[in-house]
């Protein structure tokens, strides 16, 4: 299989572009330190909110084609009109289970001597996390305990229940109890952390937890 990039469900290879390089570096943490005179260690604010926050993900992708200038301009026009300056969902063939989100900018260049055209699509404001293509859905009928597994990115699940239900869970040693009526809910305190998260469900209805996981 030839390496490809899919943008908003559109194959760049299908548009006539050959993928040359893809650069997806790991985003850096949002770090800030203060050096206090007399202290041997600086005050670090990397985890000031209880977790590490990350800077926007920057990446670039280079594509090429062979042909005359008219063909090049036509191919560039198709891409630019669909994606340039727009928030896009980018998926690589190496791992179709993940996608990146960010605004793409286009930089085309054509060499008339070789008949080779290049198009660089770059992003500087991408979401730090790469998202799972498929949402995670966990359903429990009646009461019981569910284990909600979560990748690196913290996420609050959408909870849908068909009858009044009581939920119990713990976060960082603090216990929570919440009773919800039939419907769809998001509970900010029920934030899933990396790993397995245990939630006790008490009720007569069917309760479904839906969330999208993400990783760096």
Domains detected in the chain: 5-132 (2.40.30.200), 136-215 (2.60.120.260)
Tokens for 100, please give them: 């990146």
Q: What is the pLDDT of residues 36-49, one digit of tens each?
A: 787 777 776 666 55
- In this predicted structure, what is the pLDDT of residue 62? 96
Measured CA to CA in angstroms, residue 20 lies from 3, 17, 77, 91, 196 at distances of 9, 9, 19, 15, 39
34-56 CB burial, b ≥16 within 10 A, e <16: eeeeeeeeeeeeeeeeeeeebee
In this prediction, residues 76-89 reach a mean pLDDT of: 95
What does pTM read for this prediction? 0.85
Q: What is the pLDDT of residues 114-171, one digit of tens each?
A: 999 999 999 999 999 999 999 999 999 988 899 999 999 999 999 999 999 999 998 8
Tokens for 53, please give them: 């926050």
Checking if the pLDDT of 103 tops 80, the result is: yes
């Amino acid at each position: 299989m030839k390496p490809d990039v899919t943008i908003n469900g559109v194959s760049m290879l299908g548009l006539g572009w050959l993928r040359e390089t893809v650069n997806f570096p790991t985003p850096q943490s949002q770090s800030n330190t203060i050096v206090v005179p007399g202290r041997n260690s600086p005050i670090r604010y990397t985890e000031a909110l209880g977790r590490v926050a990350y800077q926007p993900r920057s990446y670039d992708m280079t594509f090429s084609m062979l042909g005359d200038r008219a063909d090049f301009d036509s191919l560039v026009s198709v891409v630019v009109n669909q994606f340039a300056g727009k928030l896009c969902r980018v998926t690589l063939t190496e791992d179709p289970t993940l996608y990146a989100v960010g605004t793409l900018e286009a930089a085309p260049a054509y060499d008339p001597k070789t008949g080779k055209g290049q198009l660089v699509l770059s992003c500087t404001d991408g979401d730090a996390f790469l998202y799972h293509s498929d949402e995670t859905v966990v359903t429990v009928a009646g009461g019981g305990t569910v284990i909600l597994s979560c990748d690196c990115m913290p996420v609050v699940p959408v909870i849908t229940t068909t009858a009044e239900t009581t939920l119990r869970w713990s976060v960082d040693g603090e216990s929570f109890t919440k009773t919800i009526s039939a419907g769809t809910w998001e509970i900010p305190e029920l934030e899933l952390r990396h790993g397995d998260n245990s939630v006790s469900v008490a009720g007569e209805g069917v309760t479904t937890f839906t969330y999208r996981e993400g990783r760096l």
